[in-house]
Structures are given as C-alpha cells and as structure tokens.
Amino acid sequence: MTAWSLSQLLAGLHERIEQELALARKSFGHSGTKGDASQDVWLQLLSHYLPERYRAASAHIVDSKGAFSDQIDVVVYDRQYSPIIFKMGEQIILPAESVYAVFEAKQAINLELLRYATEKVASARKLYRTSLPIPSAGGMLPAREPSRIIGGLLCFESDWSPPLGDPLLNALRQNHEGSLDLGCVAAHGIFACDQKGCYSITPQGKPATAFLFELIARLQAIATVGMIDVRAYAAWLK
C-alpha cells in the first residue's frame, strides 16, 4: 500500500494551478481571453479550498451610499451573514460590508499592471461600510470597526528580472490607499506585507499553495465581517 504524503499532496495542488495558468498563457491568443482563463483558475482554487463561510467571485462592490467599486477579478466575501445585492448571470453586486479581500488576476506582473491592481484595490477600500451592534447571549456587543480589506495581485509569470527582486519591492512601496498586502506569482513565489508595512518576498517551490495558506491565515485573523445595516440599503427602495 502506498503511504500518504502531505508534502506530495500540497505539491500536487500547486502543480495543477501552475499548469493551468501556463496552459491559459500558451493556448489563447487574445489577451482578454487569457485574462479570463487565468481569473477562472484562481476563482476555482479559492472556491474549492477556502472554508465554506467564504465565497470567491468576480464582482462589483457597492456601499449603502450608492458608490461602486471598479469591476474586481477576484472578491473573497462573506456568504454566512451578508446578502448579495444583485445577481444576474455572471454579474454580481456585493455589499461592501461583506468583502474580506480583493485581487486582480493577470498573466504577468509588471509595473503597469501592479499600479492597475492598486487602483482596483483602492476603489474597494474607499467604499463606506456600515457596522451595527451585535446581539449575543450576554447582551449587545459594540459594533465592530470594519477590518482592512486585503488587497493583492495574482499571476503566473513576472516581466521583471529577477522575477521577484528590488524592482518589485520598490513598486510595492510606492502606493498607499491601494497598497497590496499579498500576491502570488505562481512560477516564482509570493510577496506579503506585514502589519508594520514591511514587504517580504518568499521564493517558493509551491507558490500557489503557499499563497492559499497565507490568505486563509489572514482571513482567520479578521475572524468575521461586521454586522451589516441592511436597512441602509433598503432605504434606496423609497
């Protein structure tokens, strides 16, 4: 009987993701089609492996004041406590309060696309989020301050040389409102920002798996989203 190997299981997960991203890059000639295929790979990874309380989708985000984000490739959101504002076919509108993380999914990382990703992240972070006191068995708990929305970039390859070096670090340090917290370059490694704002780059043999586990750890630290004021959205019915 062949013994189970956790190392091989985790390696196999990354290898599948890397192969699918490489296939999308090689097989499709149109840049938009390549991008859609890459986005789907990341969405499937998160949909299959994140705990059930989370969902991942391409979506717009709206707040109770009627402001919208840009279209975001990958939104990780709460499905246990928050409603979906609108869904028709592939079009999904999510309330800002439900959002844990937003990512852009691209074929390769470079300065232009990194700046583009920070603009997308900023469009989500600037939205207003309600938070109500929480009923509990011990009485009303105070409303939670909304947690910082995790922002990042997911891709297969890097246009820089070296792929994950000083040019990437310098670019990551240039932005504030849309600064990226976590990213994966599946062919090379991951980058992450700590609570002090310091970036680190980790060359990994299995970046996709490392990214997934780091994202889950950061979601655990957030715990859960605040209690949404549904009536603030219902006010738009008048």
How many beta carbons lie within 10 A of that of residue 65, not counting itself?
13
DSSP string, 194-228: -TTS-EEEEE-SSHHHHHHHHHHHHHHHH-S--B-
Q: Of the residues 18, 20, 63, 73, which is catalytic? A: 73
Residues near 166 by Cβ (< 8 Å), separated by ≥ 6? Answer: none
Q: Of the residues 106, 157, 181, 206, which is catalytic? A: 106
Which amino acid type is present at position 10?
A: L
Half-sphere exposure of 189 (CA within 13 A, CB side): 12
Task: State CA 149 to chain mean position distance.
Answer: 9
Active site residue 104: yes
Q: Of the residues 63, 104, 157, 181, which is catalytic? A: 104
User: Apex CA 120: angle with CA 232 and CA 89, to 5°?
Assistant: 65
Q: Which helix (H) or strand (E) holds 2?
A: none
Cα dist. 137→31, 131, 134 in Å?
A: 53, 19, 10
Residue whose C-alpha is closest to residue 74's, from 36, 110, 23: 36
Active site residue 73: yes
Active site residue 120: no
Q: Which helix (H) or strand (E) holds 54?
A: strand 54-62
Give the active site residues. Answer: 73, 104, 106
